[in-house]
Amino acid sequence: MWTARAVSVSPAQVRLLDDRERRVYESLLREPDRALYLTAHALLRLVLGEALGRDPAGLVFAAGPHGKPYLEGAGVEFSLSHSGERVAVALTSGTPVGVDVERVTDLVELPLPVLSAEERAVFDRVPGPERAAAFTAYWVRKEAVLKATGEGLRVDPARLTVSAPDRPAELLGWRGREGPRGRDDVQPHLPVRLYDLDAGEGYRGAVALLGEAAHRIVPRTV
């Protein structure tokens, strides 16, 4: 797990981008947005280049059935997220992975329909000053799972139920996914391992991995 803070733009980082990434970068008007995008995509390329012993600028990404990027024949899985000034990159040796990091913001109206009925019952008891952080914890856990499965927001997040914000991260159920005994409150596909990520003050983060094995998260700050 790599995390970084996007604070400036370096010409050396720009040279790492491919043509498509450079067009996106150049289309961004605000300097903070440009720094965030550049830091995220340059960091991903540097991490992958080091892991694979390849030129970071020469990596060519493909898109999976639901748009999740991958490297053909590389034998690694990765996920990228960025919000505010924070970037997170997760890399595994072949285990499907999803990472999400979000800045905690005090919105006038939180998008509560993304919570399941079970989550909403817990959330409604959260004191007012803690609601933004609690909601963000729910959101990053759900988003990490959906990134790991490759489905993203094509799936209604309200179908997923994750543990309460003050409890260790865990996927408790996925409505509409039938299990081996006909139950629809079981984990999807392979078992999902869900972990909270320390994304820095004012942020919440989570990483999800698919499969039976437990994993050790190795944090690295750039």
**How many domains does the chain fold into?**
1
CATH number at residue 43: 3.90.470.20
Instruction: Identify the pLDDT of residue 185.
Output: 45
CA–CA distance, 61 with 68 (Å, rounded to integer): 10
3-state DSSP assignment of residue 51: helix
Q: Tell me: the pLDDT tens digits for 74-129?
A: 889 999 999 999 999 999 998 999 999 999 998 778 899 999 999 999 999 999 99
Q: Tell me: the pLDDT tens digits for 151-179?
A: 888 899 999 999 999 999 999 999 877 54
Residue 208 structural domain: 2-221
DSSP run (H or E) holding 39: helix 31-52
Closest listed residue to residue 169, CA positions, set 121, 221, 109, 99: 99
Instruction: Identify the pLDDT of residue 181.
Output: 45
